[in-house]
Structures are given as C-alpha cells and as structure tokens.
Amino acid sequence: MNKIWILCLLIVTKGTAQIQQDKASNRKNKTVLTANKFLEGYAWVYERNDNFPNADQSIWIYNENRLYNIENEKIPKKPISFYCFFERSPFRYIDSVKNDVYIPIPKDSIFLDLKINPIGNNNLFVTEDADTIPNPNIENQHGTMSYSFVISMPNHIETNRTWLPSPTTIGGITRILEPPQSVQDFIRYLRRDKMDKISNNKVIINKSPGKPSQMYLLKGDEVEILETQDDWLKIRYYGSKTIEGWIKKNDVE
C-alpha cells in the first residue's frame, strides 16, 4: 500500500513540475510583439465619422483567430467568422485597366499571426471573413481590410477597404477601455487557459519595471502574462476595466 501511495505522489509531483516547466517555457515565448497580442484581450468598436456615419456599434472580440460579435450585450455562443493575416493586399492597381485587380495570395503567405514593429507604423492586411482556419478561402473580397496602427497609440486602428473601386479610408476601430461587465467576463472566459494566479498577499502593479502605481493585486487574482523582461512580467488584469502593468516573476504561481 505504501508503494502505491509513493507512486501516486511521484506522478502528482512530476505532473506539477511539468506544468510549472510549461508555464516557464510559455513566458519565455512572450517577448515578441505580434498582431494577435495587440488585438486580443480587448473589446473593439467601429468609429463613426464622416466616411462611416452609420458604423455598426456592436462590440468585436478577437481571440485565437476567431472573431466574436456582441450586440446589446448578448454573449455569442460561437464566433461569427475567423481571421488571418497577410503582408500585401490581394488587390493591385493595374494601370492598363485603370482599376484594381484581384491577385490571389498564395497559401504559404497567409498567416495566423505576424510579428509587428514596436516602433513606427504597422500596416497589416486582415481577412475578417475567413471560412476556415488554418487554410482559409480568402477570395471573399469584402472581408479584406488593412489595419494601420502604432504600438505607442494602442487604442486605435486605422482601417481601410482593399477592394474595388480602390482602397478607401473608412475610419477605424477603437478599444473600449471600460466595456460592460458581461463583455469583460466573456473576454476573461475566452482567455481562461492563459491565466496565472497571484501568489503573494498584495502585489503592486508597476507602470513600467521599477515604477510603482497606486494599483495592486491580491492573492488569488488571475492575470494574463503578456511579456517578460528580466525579472519582470507584463500582465493584464480583467477587472471592472482592463489593466496592464508590470509585476515581479515571483509574484505569480
């Protein structure tokens, strides 16, 4: 009987060690900025402006190449479509025909994620109406948009049409800094597998490594780790509003 208990203890210990090792490995991979990291974890809404005065005010959630639409705080049971990225428009202006012409993008040039620049402008082409992942049919012309943004201004993305008659700016999408609680709960649910728990009784959130803010976390609070930098972790906390900041690595389990 004792041998059985020892064997069970060894299995549990090995499993716990593997989980901790996997978490450490995942944290090491969080140093590269990507398009998905910029989009995910937030609620977005289309801006209304002169070019797009009747823009739909429903909320859009990007998560793991799935696009969710929330109208009147009604939480969806499944994504409305998939999305993916590529580095050029599928349309190109041809002088001989004086118009845009559809030029297919090879399958090996369609990406589930792309690295982005920490400094300067980023310009990505996004298919918002892909039918399947990871081998989408991107011939739906009206589902192709260009997203232009800079990391230093994270709450806004300039959006442009990329189909006929020619690329036209229609406005942009904006992060909702304080979405309804039901929306915030839905985002936290989608991100549930990426959460770590605070292990210390009280943890100060730093604006940047070594620069404390007035905000803090309590033991048991769940945070998503976005980036690592030496002994620091950049985290996102989904409370009444989304908060990002820095804590020490030994502040999480």
Give the amino acid at 7. L
SS3 of 86, please? Answer: strand
pLDDT of residue 89: 79
Domain segments of the chain: what residues? 1-30, 37-182, 194-253
The rounded mean pLDDT for the chain is 81
β pairing state of 144-150 and 121-130:
antiparallel
Is residue 175 within 8 Å of residue 44, measured between CB atoms?
Answer: yes
- Least confident piece of the model among 5-14, 87-96, 158-167, 184-193: 5-14
Total count of residues recorded for the chain: 253
Is residue 136 within 8 Å of residue 57, measured between CB atoms?
Answer: no
Stated as kind and residue range, the H or E segment containing 234 is strand 232-238
Give the residue-averaged pLDDT of 225-244.
Answer: 89
pLDDT of residue 38: 92
* CA angle, residues 124, 129, 131, in degrees to nearest 5: 120
Query: CB within 8 A of 65, min separation 6: which ones?
Result: 36, 82, 83, 84, 112, 130, 133, 134
194-253, what's its fold? SH3 type barrels. (2.30.30)
CA distance 191 to 142: 29
Checking if the pLDDT of 3 tops 60, the result is no
Spatial CA neighbour of 193 closest among 220, 219, 224: 224
Torsion, Cα of 12, 17, 21, 22 (10° steps): 10
Assigned token pair, 232: 């620091």
pTM of the model: 0.78
CA distance 12 to 20: 12
DSSP H helical ranges for 155-250: 181-190
* Extended strands (E) in 21-103: 43-46, 59-63, 66-70, 81-86, 91-94, 99-102
pLDDT of residue 116: 93
- Residue-wise pLDDT tens digits, 180-211: 999 999 999 999 998 999 999 999 999 999 99
Spatial CA neighbour of 92 closest among 110, 105, 83, 108: 105
